[in-house]
Chains A and B, each alone.
Chain A
Amino acid sequence: MQKLVSSLRDGVGFDLLLVGAAMVFLVALAGLPLLYNILMSFQQVDMFTLGTFVRPFVGFANYVAVITQPEFWLVTRNTFVFVIASIAGQFTLGFALALFFTLRFPGGATIRGLFLVSWVMPGLVVGAIWSWILAGDFGVLNAILTRLGIIDANIFWKSDPAVSLWAVIIANIWLGLAFNMLLLSVGLASIPRDLYEAAELDGANAPQRFWTITLPMMRSTIGAVLSLGLIGTLQQFDLFPAITEGGPANSSTVAQFWAWQMSFKLYDFARGATVSVLMLLLVLVASIVYVHSTRNEVRG
């Protein structure tokens, strides 16, 4: 007894207690809903069985129904385009900005701080602002592009299936840019200066220093940023209802919006759950990459 108490106060027992508390939270708040979601995707759900766990089992019927929907492949393609383009844009622009702000110049720190404004704002607000900017007849972006002579006729960003998804991607890149820049800045700051100085003495030019020092030293940071970007982008929902509502003709519908639409607009909770289980597989891959990249973290 004495031993147990002392172990709990200062020993393995204490460690287990802390881990246990965290596990309880994780299981209760993330694990159970997840399992419930998976369970639901194999059941027939309607208004009378919404409040219970025991419902008619339908096997893979929901999965078949989701995959045979006419818009399934369009939504899949949109999801990949949205994720890849958003991450590519956020990452390259974020990296460029992070590198830019490593050059010390007056006001640099303040300006970098101001970039965070985009990240602090709620997605719905960002969506509403971009919705006005991207409006077809009286939008700011079209006005600017017309004045600059880049376009002759207005582009209907929200209503043209060729560009509607890109309208959301532009807004999403803007939204996630600051977050990427911040994480990459931290990574850059942790690279020891003397490495660069030594390389410079040996006659390495700027591109060489970037490819042989910055990138390899940033490997784990980049891995983390990319996987966090993937997770963040797959979670991005607010911009869709605010800008295009998935239209026109589903041309900007992505999986997460589709899942929400099925559950809370069409009241088909089982299929909504099915889409989110399919998405879960995607996020799982991202999480594995993320865990892997942080495990091999190297600090110089």
Chain B
Amino acid sequence: MKLIKLGLLAGVATGLFAMPAMAQVTLKIWSIDGANSPGVSDTLSKEFDDANDDITVDYRIVPFDDLVNEALRAFATGQAPDIISVDNPDFAMFSSRGAFLDITDRVKNSSVIKTDAYFAGPLNSVTWDGKLFGLPKYTDTIALFYNKDLFKKAGIAEPPKTWDELLADARKLNDPANKVYGITFSARAGEEGTFQFLPWIQMSGGSFKDVNGPGAVHALEVWKTMIDEKLASQDVLSLGQWDSTGTFNSGNAAMAISGPWELNRMSTDAKFDWGVALLPTETEGGTRSSALGGFNYGIFSSTKHPDEAFRALEYFVSQDNRLFPEFSSLPARGDIALPETGVALKDAALKVFQEQLKYAQPRGPHPDWQKISKAIYDAMQAALTGQMSPKDALDQAQATITGIAG
């Protein structure tokens, strides 16, 4: 269809002005979107294709588990796509080795993209060595869900603000006779485990490079207390966030730590009044932090069409205001107001997540993030299962991380 259109156009053009026919550029775009239902990248890629007669977009859906492996292999053999959208902790592996195009200057000259509109965390995740190697696509973070009905029953007026209050509230809410745990979260052996625990290290003044400070040990002790006193199910060690929050929705946990991806399901499944609060801090008014989720766009440095690829990015960014209403994804920037959804609980929750996003910090960025992450969740699990003391476990993680990150 497009070819015919183009052919006609070219024919008319040569006939009238004897203008050289436009060269057809093919952009390859990879993302995980569009496998089950229309997603961001598949929809926008198609629109960009339709709107530009000189560009054809060859869009490919790659399953999440294969995305990085496929991209690595493709890049190594010179078959890389022009644009890819990857999970933010995986981004630095590419950007730090020059596999992504440095777009600092292009962004500076762009009339569409304004870097100061982005939240600090997402922007940090596409930055390496002071240069911009991509753009945040959408983002998410985690905060504290709480069951207001159970809080009322336990006589607790407001959600916990500090770690001590969180423990105290969890003890009050814990009700084994009725199969209600005080809290649920995910301490799984995988990226999700680090995603949930790293913010606690950061709140206590640490970072992914500094995980064994007294604050981090304190954080792990708080988590261990929740498991040891059975304020949370021991199965948080193997449950992912989605399944873990499922127990909150069914009323089997009074609090849950998870993200905005839960909102739609919770709005229909949870048969009680619930709310969202910012993650409790170590001390009253202490440092806030949270995890940063979400995907980023990058242009592979091997592309033959950097200009067209950047035009595509500009188009994607120009559609950011549609992210939430059409795809239920949160824009990574603060200058887009989220429209009301009409569901009061959800709208209130979104405001909290927007606020929490200001404190979200990326995992890394570091080219060997996956190994750092494993050191962190291994330490967390070793301590939670009582195989090592929190201090020893984090010391061991620190030794591993120092070996990787210097």
What is the interface of chain A, defined by CB distance below 8 A to chain B? 46-52, 70-71, 135-137, 156, 158-161, 244-251, 264-268
If A70-B400, A137-B235, A267-B68 touch, whether A48 touches B370 (CB-CB below 8 Å) is no
Cβ < 8 Å to A, chain B residues 193-216: none
Inter-subunit contact B99/A156 (CB<8 Å): no
Inter-subunit contact B69/A264 (CB<8 Å): yes
Q: In the assembled complex, which residues on chain A have CB atoms less than 8 Å from the CB atom of B93?
A: 47, 267
Inter-subunit contact A158/B382 (CB<8 Å): no
Inter-subunit contact A159/B236 (CB<8 Å): yes
Q: In the assembled complex, which residues on chain B have CB atoms less than 8 Å from the CB atom of A250?
A: 189, 378, 381
Q: Given the complex of chains A and B, what is the CA–CA distance between A279 and B38 in angstroms?
A: 43
Q: Given the complex of chains A and B, what is the CA–CA distance between A135 and B236 in angstroms?
A: 11
Which of B72, B73, B252, B385 interacts with A161 by CB under 8 Å? B385
Looking at A244, A246, A248, A267, the one whose CB has the most chain B CB atoms below 10 A away is A248
Inter-subunit contact B76/A248 (CB<8 Å): no
Cβ < 8 Å to A, chain B residues 171-202: 179, 188-190
Chain B nearest CB, measured from A269 CB (Å)? 9
Inter-subunit contact B378/A71 (CB<8 Å): yes
Which of A50, A159, A265 interacts with B237 by CB under 8 Å? A159
Q: In the assembled complex, which residues on chain A have CB atoms less than 8 Å from the CB atom of B371?
A: 266, 268
Chain B nearest CB, measured from A117 CB (Å)? 27
B289 within 8 A of A: no
Q: Given the complex of chains A and B, what is the CA–CA distance between A115 and B62 in angstroms?
A: 37
Chain B nearest CB, measured from A165 CB (Å)? 13
Q: Given the complex of chains A and B, what is the CA–CA distance between A49 and B76 in angstroms?
A: 6
User: What 16 additional pairs, Cβ within 8 angstroms, besides A51-B76, A249-B387, A250-B378?
Assistant: A46-B97, A47-B76, A47-B99, A52-B76, A136-B234, A137-B235, A137-B247, A137-B252, A244-B238, A245-B189, A247-B189, A248-B237, A248-B385, A249-B382, A265-B370, A267-B93
Which of B68, B179, B189, B384 interacts with A137 by CB under 8 Å? B179
Q: Given the complex of chains A and B, what is the CA–CA distance between A51 and B75 in angstroms?
A: 9
Q: In the assembled complex, which residues on chain B have CB atoms less than 8 Å from the CB atom of A136?
A: 233-235
Chain A nearest CB, measured from B152 CB (Å)? 24
Supply 23 A–B pairs (Cβ within 8 Å), ascending by A: A47-B97, A47-B99, A137-B247, A137-B252, A156-B233, A156-B237, A158-B238, A159-B238, A159-B385, A160-B234, A245-B188, A245-B238, A246-B189, A247-B188, A247-B238, A248-B237, A248-B385, A250-B189, A251-B387, A264-B69, A266-B371, A266-B374, A267-B69
Inter-subunit contact B238/A251 (CB<8 Å): no
Q: Given the complex of chains A and B, what is the CA–CA distance between A158 and B381 in angstroms?
A: 13
Residue of B nearest to A50 (CB): B76
Q: In the assembled complex, which residues on chain A have CB atoms less than 8 Å from the CB atom of B190?
A: 245, 247
B77 within 8 A of A: yes
If A247-B238, A248-B189 touch, whether A47 touches B72 (CB-CB below 8 Å) is yes
Inter-subunit contact B77/A51 (CB<8 Å): yes
Q: In the assembled complex, which residues on chain A have CB atoms less than 8 Å from the CB atom of B370?
A: 265-267
Inter-subunit contact A251/B385 (CB<8 Å): yes
Cβ < 8 Å to A, chain B residues 67-110: 68-69, 72-73, 75-78, 93-94, 97, 99
Q: In the assembled complex, which residues on chain B have CB atoms less than 8 Å from the CB atom of A49?
A: 76
Q: In the assembled complex, which residues on chain A have CB atoms less than 8 Å from the CB atom of B99?
A: 47
Inter-subunit contact B73/A50 (CB<8 Å): yes
Residue of B nearest to A250 (CB): B378
Q: In the assembled complex, which residues on chain B have CB atoms less than 8 Å from the CB atom of A156?
A: 233-235, 237
If A136-B235, A137-B235, A156-B235 touch, whether A249 touches B381 (CB-CB below 8 Å) is yes
Cβ < 8 Å to A, chain B residues 215-240: 233-238
Residue of A nearest to B253 (CB): A137
Q: Given the complex of chains A and B, what is the CA–CA distance between A265 and B374 in angstroms?
A: 10
If A246-B189, A249-B387, A266-B371 touch, whether A48 touches B76 (CB-CB below 8 Å) is yes
Q: Given the complex of chains A and B, what is the CA–CA distance between A92 and B400 in angstroms?
A: 43
Chain A nearest CB, measured from B392 CB (Å)? 11
B396 within 8 A of A: yes
Q: Given the complex of chains A and B, what is the CA–CA distance between A221 and B236 in angstroms?
A: 44
Q: In the assembled complex, which residues on chain B have CB atoms less than 8 Å from the CB atom of A160?
A: 234, 385
Inter-subunit contact A159/B69 (CB<8 Å): no
Q: In the assembled complex, which residues on chain B have CB atoms less than 8 Å from the CB atom of A265?
A: 370, 374
Residue of B nearest to A136 (CB): B235
Q: Given the complex of chains A and B, what is the CA–CA distance between A22 and B75 in angstroms?
A: 35
Q: Given the complex of chains A and B, what is the CA–CA distance between A248 and B236 in angstroms?
A: 10
Q: Given the complex of chains A and B, what is the CA–CA distance between A137 and B381 in angstroms?
A: 19
Q: In the assembled complex, which residues on chain B have CB atoms less than 8 Å from the CB atom of A248?
A: 189, 237-238, 381, 384-385
Q: In the assembled complex, which residues on chain B have CB atoms less than 8 Å from the CB atom of A247?
A: 188-190, 237-238, 381
